[in-house]
Amino acid sequence: MYYGTLADPRGEGDIHQELRYARDAGFDFVEISVEGPRYTLSRLKPRIGEIKSAGKELGLFFTCHTPWGWNVGNPYKGIRDATINEVMGVIGFAEEIEARLVTVHMHTRFGLYDKKDMIGYMAEGLGSLCDRAEKSGMAITVENVDQGVDDLRRLFELEPRAKFHLDVGHANVSCKGGASILEFIEAFKDRLYHVHVHDNKGGHGVDGDLHLALGMGNIDWHKVVKALKGAGYDKTITLEVFTKNRQYLEASLDILKSLVGE
C-alpha cells in the first residue's frame, strides 16, 4: 500500500513545504485538495512545473481532491455543467502533474429532490468526467459522504467507469454506523481505488465527522485493515487527519503501517 498526506488548503505552509514535510515524515504521496483559500486552481496552475519537478526530486507522486461542496450531480443543469467544467480543470491539472486520480464527492440530498433522481444526475455528471479522463487514463473516484452501499451500487450501475473512494470516517457516521465500513469494502472490493482514513466517534452528519487521529475515536482499525487486506487492496491511502500538531498525523501513520504489517 502507499501512504499519503493531504496538502491542506487551510494550512499556512507553501506547497513545497508540504511536499518536503511529506517526504521527511515517510509518506509516499501527497493528495492536493484543489480548493481555496490556498490551493485554488488559479494559484496552482502557474506552478505546475515546479510542483511536478519537486515531486520527482523528493520521490513523491500525487492524487487530487476536489472541494467537498462541488456537486457534479446538482439537479439544476446550469449549475451542474458549471461544476463539471471546474472539475475538468482539475483533471487537466492532475494530468500535468501526473496524478493518479481525481476524487469527487457523492451528494444525494438537495431540497425536495428524490435520492434516486439525485443519483441519476450524479451519474450523468460522472459520465462527462469519465469521458474526459479516459484521454489520459486518469481514474475518477467517487467518495462516499453519507450514503449507504445500495446508493453507491446504483450509481456504479449507471456509470460503471467510475471508481470507488472509501472514506472510512464518513462511513462511520453514515446511517448504519461502523458496520457499514466493512460492508463498503466487501461490496466494492473490485472497484475500490482510493481510501481516506481518519477517526471519529460515530454519530450522524458533519458534526460527527471530526477527522481525528487514528485511535482517538471508536473505529476498529484492526478490523478495517484486515478487511482491506482480505479484499486484496494495495493502492493509495490518505491519512486525512486534521490537526495543527502533526505529531498526531505521524502517530497515525505509524499505527496504520503497523496494522498493515501484521
pLDDT of 14 reads 86
pLDDT of 205 reads 63
* pTM, 2 dp: 0.95
pLDDT of 122 reads 98
CB 237 within 8 A of CB 4: yes
First to last CA, the chain: 13
CB 216 within 8 A of CB 169: no
What are the strands, taking DSSP E only, across the chain? 2-7, 29-33, 61-65, 101-105, 139-143, 163-167, 192-197, 236-239
| DSSP classification of residue 189 | T
Domain ranges of the chain: 2-261
CATH number of 2-261: 3.20.20.150
Can you say how many angstroms the Cα of residue 110 is from the centroid of all Cα atoms in its chain?
21
pLDDT of 26 reads 98
CB count within 10 Å of CB 193 equals 21
pLDDT of 206 reads 63
Q: Per-residue confidence of the chain (262 residues) as pLDDT tens digits?
A: 999 999 978 766 689 999 999 999 999 999 999 999 999 999 999 999 999 999 999 999 999 999 999 999 999 999 999 999 999 999 999 999 999 999 999 999 998 999 999 999 999 999 999 999 998 999 999 999 999 999 999 999 999 999 999 999 999 987 555 568 999 999 999 999 999 999 999 877 666 889 999 999 999 999 999 999 999 999 999 999 998 899 999 999 999 999 999 7
How far is residue 23's CA from residue 105's CA, in Å, rounded to a whole number? 28
